[in-house]
Amino acid sequence: MSAQAPPPPPPPPPPAPSLVAADTVVHVDRVSKWFSGVVAVSEVSFAVSPGVTAVLGPNGAGKSTLLRLLCGLTAPSQGTVRIFGADPRIDATARGRIGLVPQQETMFDTHTPVAFVRLAAVLHGVAGPEATARRCLGIVELDPDDSRRIATYSKGMRQRVKVAASLVHDPAILVLDEPLTGLDPRQRRHMIDLFHRLGDEGRCVLVSSHVLDEVERFGSRVLVLAKGRLAATGDFRAIRDLMDDRPHRIQIVTDQPAVLAGALLGAGSVSGVRLISDDTVHIETTDVTRLRTLVATAAVDCGVHLREFAPLDDDLDSVFRYLVGGR
Amino acid sequence: MSIESAPLPTTEGTPAARRSVLVPLRALTMLLLRNQATRGRLVALAALGAVGVLVGAIVTDNSTLDATVAGTRFVNLYGLSLLTPVVALVFGAGALGDLVDDRSLVYLWLPPVPRWVIALAAWIATLIVCSPFTVGVSVLMAAATGGGAELIVGTLWASLLGLVAYSGLFTALGLRFRRALVWGFAYLLIWENFVAQAGDGAARLSILSYLRSVLSAYTGAGLELADRDLTLSFVVPMVVGLLGVAYTARRLHTTDVD
């Protein structure tokens, strides 16, 4: 009997293709969250890489709950949340890499802005908390020497103090829950520039909003939440096109609604007409821009006097209802 | 400074979280002290203390009992049974409970500060803010009764131990229950002042019985259900206080933060 070499071990199977990109910072996998039987977030999965990502959804869509889950402030009822591969709920180091601007206005109102931001720096173990606090207040264009208490600050100024506090430890992930609330147009522009700059520098910036036009300026990546579900994800322009392609309802108030409706039906681009009253007609169309031109032309041609031209369903709720239709 | 020109914080020279916990402990204690010490609370509890001192002087002046015995009974009735637990409840329940209610706990919870540091800071802040209204006022009350040095020293120790125990207990309660004041008053009224009076077994689970034992041991004046071993009477309130801190830290790990 001769000695026989053991058969060579089979080659290891090739690694399964990963669904998570190499630069993924935040990974959410089939996450649900419910409170006392009310589902706030349902089966949401996505991955986020460095750069600015907007979380868009109407009020009550689950945006804030989702952001709280990302920060570990609450545990998912199902699924997993990972920040740099760690669970933020239990891993303090991972949590320490997050800068959060919470939605609530509450702050420590007896503090001055610099004291509030300095406290954040101290709690994050930043060396030189005073200098850091002053620098961060400068970034959001607030005076570090202002000795007034936060209680005396306007909503917009409080938002900026919160943003400054979120920056003290140079976070790799910034989670901003409706950060533009209360800001004037100039400050909005500055904040959006700042968020872009932070994203361009390699940070992962997650910004929530329920204002469509605001999100458009945040960047091209967007997560659309509706009724706790991820309704759409990807490039904002594609989602915007999808929104624009849906049927729109327009209310026109005029002295001769029947005459105008007849003229519009004959001109095309109108998929439905409904006479509501003696002076009001509702028009359904997929091309609002063309309809505007048609209405103006028809009004001149027919001698019709126009009093109102108003979209009936341009609010976010109806947009989201359309996006999640059939789900 | 414009956004364009202001340098953002950089990671160089700013890591640190591994530094001494004393820095965040001090910062948190100062913050919580400031939050707890609202004008309304301070005025109400100062009034409660002033009434105690005033009544203490009047009652013992008119008493036929020995001044030490009368003083011991009054300190037990007002200082230990009412003032110390109520003041500790009002401030302790608010230490972290106020932050839960107004949703500002997130600013302490998210940074990588150990949970026990937050719990300890809340306890220390409660001890500091309560001390003048409990230990200070109780000692003044004892002095006002003219009960002598034994009464003052006994009152000092008993109220101090009561403060340690109740502060830990009610700080934990403030984090655990949304209506911590109601739960706290229910505990004080139903358990400490009713159930615990029923017998020795129940009294063992009452903080008050240990405080009474300390007071009674120093003054020699007999008090109901005040026959605990003196060493045990010092140890149990301290253990209760520390258990409260431990529970608060544990609760901070598991609580949902708004």
Give per-residue pLDDT as tens, B136-190. Answer: 999 999 998 888 899 999 999 999 999 999 999 999 999 999 899 999 999 999 9
- Other C-beta atoms closer than 10 Å to the C-beta of A61 total 26
Q: What is residue B243's predicted lDDT score, i.e. its pLDDT? A: 98
Tell me the average pLDDT across B101-109. 95
Is residue A253 within 8 A of residue A280, CB to CB? The reply is: yes
Contact A138 B16 (CB under 8 A): no
Contact A95 B106 (CB under 8 A): no
Query: B205: distance to nearest CA of chain A, Å?
Result: 34
Query: A323: distance to nearest CA of chain B, Å?
Result: 29
| Minimum CA–CA partner of A108 in chain B | B104
- Residue-level pLDDT, tens digit, chain A, 327 residues: 344 455 555 555 554 444 456 688 999 999 999 988 789 999 999 999 999 999 988 888 899 999 999 999 999 999 999 999 999 999 999 999 999 999 988 999 999 999 999 999 999 999 999 999 999 999 999 999 999 999 999 999 999 999 999 999 999 999 999 999 888 888 999 999 999 999 999 999 999 988 777 777 777 688 988 889 998 888 777 776 666 666 778 889 999 999 988 888 877 778 888 888 999 999 988 888 888 888 988 889 889 999 888 877 665 556 666 666 544
| Minimum CA–CA partner of B102 in chain A | A106
- Strands A98-101 and A78-83 turn out to be unpaired
Query: B123: distance to nearest CA of chain A, Å?
Result: 18
Taking the CA of residue B52 as centre, how many other CA atoms within 13 Å lie in the half-sphere pointing to its CB? 31
**Encoded amino acid at A94, one letter:** A
Is residue A209 within 8 A of residue A249, CB to CB? The reply is: no
Contact A125 B112 (CB under 8 A): yes
Is residue A233 within 8 A of residue A222, CB to CB? The reply is: yes
Tell me the average pLDDT across B214-241. 90
pLDDT of B13 strictly over 90: no
Q: Write out the two tokens for B114.
A: 């150990």
**Consecutive H or E run containing A178:** none
Give per-residue pLDDT as tens, B35-88. Answer: 988 888 899 888 988 888 888 778 776 767 788 888 899 999 999 999 999 999
Distance, CA of B194 to CA of B34 (rounded, Å):
35
Chain B residue numbers touching A73 (CB-CB < 8 A): 106, 109-110, 256-258
B105 vs A: CB within 8 A: no
Query: B177: distance to nearest CA of chain A, Å?
Result: 17
Q: Suggest the residue from A35, A90, A123 to mutate for an interface test with chain B (most B CBs closer than 10 A).
A: A123
The ipTM value here is: 0.85
B27 vs A: CB within 8 A: yes
DSSP labels, A56-119:
E--TTSSHHHHHHHHHTSS--SEEEEEETTB-TTT-HHHHTTEEEE-SS----TTS-HHHHHHH
- Other C-beta atoms closer than 10 Å to the C-beta of A86 total 16
- Strands A248-254 and A204-209 turn out to be unpaired
B222 vs A: CB within 8 A: no
Contact B27 A106 (CB under 8 A): no
Nearest to A135 among B7, B13, B107 (CB): B7
pTM of the model: 0.81
Distance, CA of B45 to CA of A93 (rounded, Å):
41
Distance, CA of B82 to CA of A208 (rounded, Å):
49
Distance, CA of B104 to CA of B98 (rounded, Å):
8
Beta strands in chain B (DSSP E): none
